[in-house]
Structure formats: C-alpha cells, structure tokens
A = this chain, B = another copy of it.
C-alpha cells in the first residue's frame, strides 16, 4: 500500500561484498579523459546512480524515494553513505528531504541544471536532441558575449595562452586527447580574459559536459570540418580588440560545433518499440 516508491529494482546481491564492484565506474579501460575521475566512494557512487535516474526521467518529480532504511538496504549499504548521497542530491536541488514526509524528487525548475555533475549525469544517458540544442543555445549566447568582452579586456598574457593553445590544437588535432585538451585550454584562456568569475564558472561546466559528447562524436565518425580556422578567426578578432567581430566569430564557431555534434540516437525515453 501507501506511497509505492519507484523502487529501483536493482539492489544487487545482499552479500556484504558487492558494493565495491559497482563502485568506481568504468575503472579499467575506457575512461581516463574526464578530469572528474577521482575514484568515487560509496556516497558519490550512490549520488551518481540516483542522480542519473532522476535527470533521465526514470524517477519522476514528485515521487518519493524509499525511506532511508529501506533504500539503503536495497543498495546494500549502511544508512551513512546513503544519507550523504541524498545530501549531495539535495545540494544540487534534485531532491528535498524532510522528516515525516520523506525524500521527494523536486520539480525540474528547481534543479541546478548547470551544475557540472548534473550536466554530466544528463549526458550519461544519451540526452535527447532538444536538450542538447538548448544547451548549445545557452553556450552560444554566453560564450559569444565572453569573446566580445575578452576582445576588450584581454592582456598580452591571455593572448599568448590562447596562441599556445591554438598551436597545440594544430599539432595534435582534435582526435587526440592532447588536442581536445588544447581546445579546452583555448576556451579557458578566453574566459579568463573576461575577468568575470561567473562567466568562467558557468562555461567551465558546460564545456566539460559538451566535451564528453565530443568524445562520442570522434568515435562514431571523423570531424566533418576542420575547427582550426574558426578558432583562428576568433583569435584574430580578439587580438585586434574587435569586440563585435570576436562575438560573431565565436557564435559561428559554436554553431558549427553544434552541427558537428551527433544527434542522439534515442530522442525521448519511451518508444523503444
């Protein structure tokens, strides 16, 4: 009777051991690119697991999680790490825990969608096209403006860092990890030049998230287009302190990046049949 929690069937086995095995993600092989790789503990693992269930829609807003005792023993962990996981989710606005009522999944409008972890979780389960489009839309607005600001405020040091990053991209190409890092360095240096910590904070998370999809992109098919010239145009405008031109160039760069991003294979979540 009663609340009928969404009840992740999961639960693994009951034995006192199995928790560790699901723990540290794709440990052995694949990963190694994500800077966010710091060997999650139990609480982090659980938060991630629940977080993905929530942002992917498997657990719906308004629904109640099982109570602490039930939920934690379903996951075969003690209450301590489970509670800490809930704290993490609550800190990101995904759930709301209160005595007597339980832990409820909040409305999407409450979520901190720009939190790096939340973004990461969204892209974990093949985000639909609509969401990706929305994210690129934001990125276009913010980072174009950032380019304009950078053109006005950049120092010689900023310029030098961007030049170095561009050279790195040229040398390694975007299909290598080093090349991707150089690309990220370029954007970081640009953001740095805006001298606005909010822009930096915002774009950091967004770019990291998009980068993970870029990895998929590189795996599935080669880049249709060489990104270097677009970056060079942005650089030139910033070097020349031409704000409007820098803004336009960045906008084009991002639009092209969006077009090169693969459409999600699974737009929604239900059809499957």
B116 & A198 in contact (Cβ 8 Å cutoff): no
A205 cross-chain contacts in B, Cβ below 8 A: 112
Answer whether A87 and B80 are a contact pair too, CB < 8 Å, given A197-B113, A198-B138, A205-B112.
no
Please tell me the number of chain A residues within 8 Å of chain B, measured between CB atoms.
41
A204 & B109 in contact (Cβ 8 Å cutoff): yes
When chains A and B are docked, how far (Å) is the Cα of A80 from the Cα of B43? 13
Q: Does A120 contact B (CB under 8 A)?
A: no
Distance of A161 from chain B, by nearest CB (Å) = 14
B43 & A197 in contact (Cβ 8 Å cutoff): no
When chains A and B are docked, how far (Å) is the Cα of A80 from the Cα of B198? 32
Determine which of B43, B90, B115 lies in contact with A115 in the assembled complex, contact meaning CB atoms within 8 Å: B115
- Write the A201-235 contact mask toward B (1 if CB under 8 angstroms, else 0): 11011000000000000000000000000000000
Determine which of B38, B88, B197 lies in contact with A134 in the assembled complex, contact meaning CB atoms within 8 Å: B197
Q: Does A171 contact B (CB under 8 A)?
A: no
A198 & B91 in contact (Cβ 8 Å cutoff): no
Query: Which residues of chain A from 178 to 202 have any CB-CB distance to chain B below 8 Å in the complex?
Result: 195-202
Answer whether A116 and B112 are a contact pair too, CB < 8 Å, given A87-B91, A134-B198.
yes
Distance of A75 from chain B, by nearest CB (Å) = 17
When chains A and B are docked, how far (Å) is the Cα of A109 from the Cα of B208? 13
Closest B residue by C-beta to A148: B141
Answer whether A114 and B114 are a contact pair too, CB < 8 Å, given A141-B141, A200-B109.
yes
A108 & B43 in contact (Cβ 8 Å cutoff): no
A202 cross-chain contacts in B, Cβ below 8 A: 113-114, 138, 202
| 18 A-B residue pairings within 8 Å (CB atoms) | A87-B87, A88-B88, A88-B90, A88-B91, A93-B116, A108-B197, A109-B200, A109-B201, A112-B115, A113-B202, A114-B198, A115-B115, A134-B197, A137-B196, A138-B142, A138-B198, A141-B145, A202-B202
